[in-house]
Amino acid sequence: MRLTSNTTASSRLKVAAPEWTFEQINFVAVRRGVVVEDHLFNKLDRLSVQAGKKDQILAAHEQRICEAQDTIIRSYYQQIYGSSGADATTSIENIGGQVYV
């Protein structure tokens, strides 16, 4: 098999280590950014993650989802209402933390 820039990482690994088996595990947020803890913990179990680290991973995952949603909302606000500065939060109300309305 010839490796090209279009070759997927899993294809490259299969060539490098044909005796290995590969499985794709996706970590996602469902509607409205909700994380289903059971699904996340089941995937972490499949990766043999220590029980004590699962809550830390869940918290970090939820934080990234909130940050991504914040970016989307800021972008939307800036596109719809415009902003005189580089930051769309200059003309909206900060209700705490990094939450703006």
Residue 82 pLDDT > 60: yes
Task: In whole angstroms, give the CA distance from residue 25 to residue 44.
Answer: 9
Q: Does residue 3 lie within any of the structural domains? A: no
Q: Pick the more confident residue, 78 or 30.
A: 78
22-74: pLDDT as tens digits: 777 877 776 666 677 888 888 899 989 998 999 999 889 888 888 888 888 88
Nearest-10 crossing angle of helices 51-81, 37-46 = 130
Q: Smallest Cα–Cα separation from 29: which of 39, 18, 21?
A: 39
Q: Does residue 92 lie within any of the structural domains? A: yes
Q: Does residue 43 lie within any of the structural domains? A: yes
- Structural domain for 29, as ranges: 9-100
Q: Does residue 1 lie within any of the structural domains? A: no
Cα torsion 73, 74, 78, 83: sign? positive
Q: Does residue 2 lie within any of the structural domains? A: no
Q: Does residue 4 lie within any of the structural domains? A: no
Q: How many domains does the chain have?
A: 1
